Amino acid sequence: PPPPPPPPPPPPPPPPPVEYSQSMPFLVKRKALNGYVGDVGFDPLGFSEILPMDWLREAELKHCRVCMLATVGFVFTDFLTLPGSIYQVSTLDAHDVSVASGSMSQLLLWIGIAEIISVVAIQQMLAGSGRAPGEFGFDPMGFAKDASKKADLEMKELANGRLAMMAFSGMVTQAVLTGNSFPYLY
């Protein structure tokens, strides 16, 4: 009699479960986002799989902080102006006047110096210095002494910064479209 046929091979293991993004439930959540404050799985273009996540978070926090200041500053200049004829311009025209007077080049110089210093800090962070993205040890009031409170403050900074990025973009667009000062409605 012929030998019995060999047993069939075991079935392949099931694929791992797919974790979907909280912010865009039809997209797969990127693994590199795990463990970061404010992670809702938003990375539709997959930058976190191409670039270092610490560098991306550093850039996001920098843009958040700049836009939080810019949002307040953009509205503030519609209510208070400095004395002198050069300052009696609309918020939208202030950029052109600053370029013409040369003050914008000084701003470019000082921001350039700050950026050069930040490049050194970012390179050290990416090399494993232990510095968290966006962390410069600036907490003169001691708000973040408690770890749970620090995580809460980091989340608030990120959420308000993301809102400020959208707010500033909308305010500038509305101001250009209407040609008016605050509240940029008509």
**pLDDT tens figures, 58-103:** 999 999 999 999 999 999 988 888 888 877 888 888 888 888 988 8
Q: Is the dihedral of CA 54, 43, 147, 154 positive or negative?
A: positive
Kindly state the DSSP code that residue 20 receives in the 8-state scheme.
Answer: B
Query: Tokens representing 113?
Result: 């110096």
**pLDDT tens figures, 120-139:** 999 999 999 999 999 888 88
What type of residue sits at position 175?
A: A
pTM over 0.85: no
145 pLDDT band, cuts 50/70/90, is confident
